[in-house]
């Protein structure tokens, strides 16, 4: 009889605590508690799917019920161990919360609890996806949990602990399992492929680990799939096509393009990837990951151990990190992360991705405030201002140069809201001509009135007008908006792109003097900036 093919996840399921990959913190604690006979009644394993929750639960069940148990190293030879491993032990009941979420099943469970185990020491209930139980079922379970018979142990597993009733949580010893670092996944996959006599290179293994996002089960079943497709020789491109992933060298190319400020190459690379049907959402996540690693490396200190990538990739990252500083990396991450949510629901993901790339490149070119001050000081010494004069005149105030722009959508939303108000109250619309959004912070949209028309604010600012404007803004901006009207300095030219904070209380430094200062003039020229706010 031909031997039936056994899927890798099953064949390589860990049988001992020491074989569990990437969850040492959990295995060690459980082993210690067994050795010290400090056993709880109920355990809860929390973590994303496919990272070993059920495997640990079964090992733990064996450890408790092994003929030699409780022991940290179940023998795997006795009937109890064998039955648990095969899933047919009478004393270890596995319940899938997702399919048995009825109160009846839990009542039944509660009733069987009372009987002593058939032949092992404990009656063990493993309830997977425990958060899926209905409230009624939870409550029935709670009764048993409050006063469990001494021979009963509960092992719960969940991907969503927020949905588990607090009264249940408080009665469990909780363990949080982690996503498995990709270097550990790669090592484990190497062991498997060697045993299965499959030729596979490191790039392909790394790609599998990347696609599995820290999940052992996903990694193993992808490998299954690949062996079925490709036989005993697997290359990186095979893996990438399974996941719709983008090769690491393309991600590196995009990163280079952003660092070098090369918009053309960035957009071209994206176009190519989109045209061959790559998953752009996934690509953005990978790009963000890459920048996260760059950030860690540019910050220094913590060092490379926080960067979980193969050596080859680490070299590349280090080389890129040498060409950019952490401030710029942070701004790029901001720009990219901003697009993530938008991309998710967009029909044309490419447009949003393109915008994100352009934003990232612009963000890279911006100079941080510290850089501005440094350059200003350099300028100052070039212009040869005497130290005495410098001391008597006010210190150059920090200048808020125009940075990341308020999304043009803010202007658009405001125009839309005003247009609509105009249909209801034409007069109000005329009063709002020339107003502009100044900032949008913490749900408050500040609208600036030109000082020349300051009195118009009184006419416009009524509860009814606000209500209409706010409702229309919400339509466009998809969030609750509360309006604030302010008199702004010279609304017209300077406002559009800026996130200005609150209006300064009173101009301590005379703004027009400031603008005429040759030093400031020169600085604005260099930074292609404009003055939005003058602070002392």
Residue placing its CB nearer to Zn ion in the complex, 16 or 241: 16
The C-alpha atoms of residue 488 and residue 435 are separated, in whole angstroms, by: 9
The C-alpha atoms of residue 222 and residue 209 are separated, in whole angstroms, by: 10
CB of residue 123 vs Zn ion: minimum separation in angstroms?
A: 17
Q: According to the binding rule CB under 5 A, does residue 124 interact with Zn ion? A: no
The C-alpha atoms of residue 444 and residue 482 are separated, in whole angstroms, by: 5
Contacts with 127 (C-beta within 8 Å, 6 or more apart), sequence order: 94, 95, 96, 97, 133, 154, 155, 156, 157
Q: According to the binding rule CB under 5 A, does residue 81 interact with Zn ion? A: yes
Task: Quickly tell me which residue has 């410098």 as its tokens.
Answer: 390
Smallest Cα–Cα separation from 483: which of 499, 467, 502? 467
CB of residue 75 vs Zn ion: minimum separation in angstroms?
A: 4
CB of residue 71 vs Zn ion: minimum separation in angstroms?
A: 8
The residue count for binding Zn ion (CB under 5 A) is 5
Write the CA distances from 147 to 45, 143, 187, 224, integer angstroms: 21, 7, 44, 45
Q: Could you say which residues in the range 292-321 bind Zn ion, by CB under 5 A?
A: none
The C-alpha atoms of residue 22 and residue 182 are separated, in whole angstroms, by: 10
Residue placing its CB nearer to Zn ion in the complex, 78 or 93: 78
CB of residue 34 vs Zn ion: minimum separation in angstroms?
A: 13
Exactly one of 78, 165, 355, 524 binds Zn ion (CB under 5 A); that residue is: 78
Contacts with 315 (C-beta within 8 Å, 6 or more apart), sequence order: none
CB of residue 73 vs Zn ion: minimum separation in angstroms?
A: 9
Residue placing its CB nearer to Zn ion in the complex, 63 or 219: 63
Site string for Zn ion, 27-66 (x = CB under 5 A): ---------------------------------------x
CB of residue 63 vs Zn ion: minimum separation in angstroms?
A: 9
CB of residue 74 vs Zn ion: minimum separation in angstroms?
A: 5
CA quadruple 67, 73, 76, 77: dihedral positive or negative? negative
Smallest Cα–Cα separation from 483: which of 421, 407, 402, 400? 421
Residue placing its CB nearer to Zn ion in the complex, 42 or 81: 81
The C-alpha atoms of residue 243 and residue 211 are separated, in whole angstroms, by: 6
Question: What is the β-pairing status of strands 444-449 and 436-441?
Answer: antiparallel
Residue placing its CB nearer to Zn ion in the complex, 81 or 328: 81
Exactly one of 39, 75, 367, 397 binds Zn ion (CB under 5 A); that residue is: 75
Residue placing its CB nearer to Zn ion in the complex, 81 or 332: 81
What 3-state class would DSSP assign to 177?
coil
Q: According to the binding rule CB under 5 A, does residue 379 interact with Zn ion? A: no
Residue placing its CB nearer to Zn ion in the complex, 18 or 475: 18
Q: Return residues touching Zn ion (CB under 5 A).
A: 66, 74-75, 78, 81
């Amino acid at each position: 009889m031909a031997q039936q093919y056994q899927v890798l996840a099953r064949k390589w399921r860990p049988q001992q605590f020491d074989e569990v990959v990437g969850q040492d913190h959990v295995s060690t604690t459980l082993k210690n508690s067994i050795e010290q006979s400090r056993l709880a009644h109920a355990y809860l394993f929390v973590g994303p799917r496919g990272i070993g929750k059920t495997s640990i639960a079964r090992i733990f069940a064996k450890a408790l019920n092994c003929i030699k148990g409780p022991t940290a190293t179940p023998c795997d030879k006795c009937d109890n161990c064998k039955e648990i491993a095969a899933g047919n032990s009478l004393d270890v009941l596995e319940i899938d919360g997702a399919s048995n979420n009825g109160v009846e099943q839990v009542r039944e469970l509660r009733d069987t609890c009372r009987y002593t185990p058939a032949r092992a020491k404990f009656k063990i209930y493993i309830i997977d996806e425990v958060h899926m139980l209905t409230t009624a079922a939870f409550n029935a379970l709670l009764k048993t949990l409050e006063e469990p018979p001494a021979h009963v142990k509960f092992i719960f597993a969940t991907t969503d602990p927020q949905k588990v009733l607090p009264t249940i949580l408080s009665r469990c010893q909780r363990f949080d399992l982690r996503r498995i670092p990709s270097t550990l996944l790669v090592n484990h996959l190497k062991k498997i492929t060697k045993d299965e006599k499959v030729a596979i290179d490191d790039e392909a293994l790394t790609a599998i680990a990347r696609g599995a996002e820290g999940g052992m089960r996903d990694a193993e079943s992808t490998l299954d799939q690949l062996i079925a497709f490709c036989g005993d020789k697997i290359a990186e491109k095979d893996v990438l096509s399974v996941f719709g992933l983008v090769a690491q060298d393309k991600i590196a190319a995009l990163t280079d393009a952003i660092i070098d400020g090369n918009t053309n190459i960035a957009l071209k690379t994206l176009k190519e990837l989109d045209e061959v049907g790559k998953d752009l959402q996934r690509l953005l996540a990978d790009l963000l990951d890459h920048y996260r690693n760059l950030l860690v490396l540019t910050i220094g200190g913590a060092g490379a151990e926080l960067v979980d990538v193969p050596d080859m990739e680490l070299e590349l990252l280090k080389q890129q990190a040498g060409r950019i500083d952490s401030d710029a990396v942070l701004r790029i991450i901001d720009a990219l992360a901003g697009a993530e949510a938008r991309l998710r629901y967009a029909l044309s993901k490419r447009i949003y991705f393109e915008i994100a790339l352009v934003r990232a490149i612009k963000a890279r070119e911006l100079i941080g405030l510290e850089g501005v001050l440094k350059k200003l000081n350099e300028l100052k010494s070039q212009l040869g201002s005497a130290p005495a004069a410098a001391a008597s005149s006010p210190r150059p105030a920090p200048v808020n140069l125009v940075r990341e722009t308020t999304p043009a959508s803010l202007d658009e939303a405001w125009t839309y809201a005003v247009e609509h108000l105009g249909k209801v109250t034409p007069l109000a619309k005329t009063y709002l001509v020339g107003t502009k959004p100044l900032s949008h912070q913490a749900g408050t949209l500040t609208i600036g009135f030109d000082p020349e028309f300051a009195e118009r604010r009184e006419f416009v600012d009524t509860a009814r007008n606000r209500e209409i404007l706010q409702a229309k803004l919400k339509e466009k901006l998809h969030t609750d908006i509360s309006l604030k009207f302010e008199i702004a300095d010279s609304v017209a030219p300077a406002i559009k792109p800026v996130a200005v904070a609150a209006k300064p209380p009173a101009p301590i430094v005379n703004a027009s003097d400031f603008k005429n200062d040759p030093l400031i003039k020169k600085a604005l020229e260099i930074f292609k900036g404009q003055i939005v706010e003058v602070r002392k």
